[in-house]
Amino acid sequence: MKLRSSEASASNSSQNIIESKEKLKAFLKKKGFKSTRQRDIIVTEFLKSREHVTAEELYNRINKKYKEIGFTTVYRTLKLLAESGLAAEQIFADNLMRYEPLSEEEHHDHLICVHCGSITEFENPKMERLQKNIANEFGFYIVNHKMEFYGYCRRCRGSARTLS
């Protein structure tokens, strides 16, 4: 089991940021889009965060330093990142569109605490295999999947007395 929780080490992050920014630049060029100061700032902040952010959350964070960057541009840049394959769009139980940095082909699933809201990511090879087997039984070709566990994380499991 490969853990990739939000609390995990952030080493190599500056290297990853540079790499990702290069990828975005290539994507922009290929599509005839332009590189701008705003996009650069937004992408940098987004990749630094390494969280599942909504457009509004990222905008608020950016707005503290860069008053002149508008919500719409943050929103559009996140969409652009999703198109270019550098971010994944995900909707959890709160029904807000969230974005997370995505490198290469990795796919991970989520443990979401309904008490504190923490999101822990994990990858599990057994799970991947089982999913493929199930799909095969139905003649189904999986392009993408979504798996979320909602419940109580280790910390909240102890403190929440409301467990039924």
Contact string (CB under 8 A) for a copy of itself, positions 34-63, x = contact: ------------------------------
Output 29 or 145, the one with its CB closest to DNA.
29
State phi, psi for 96 to the nearest 5 degrees. -115, 140
Q: Of these partners, DNA, a copy of itself, none, which one is at the site of residue 27 (CB under 5 to 8 Å by kind)?
A: none
- The total of other beta-carbon atoms located within 10 Å of residue 121's CB is 18
Longest dimension (CA), the chain: 56
Nearest-angstrom CA–CA distance, 152 and 111 = 9
Q: Is 94 exposed, middle or buried (0-12, 13-18, 19+ CB in 10 A)?
A: exposed
Q: Which two tokens stand for residue 16?
A: 């990853």
Q: Count interface residues toward DNA (CB under 7 A).
A: 25
Least CB distance to a copy of itself at residue 40 (A)? 30
When asked if residue 153 is in the footprint of a copy of itself (CB under 8 A), the reply is yes
Least CB distance to DNA at residue 149 (A)? 22
Positions that interact with DNA (CB under 7 A): 28-29, 32-39, 54-56, 68-73, 75-77, 79, 96-97
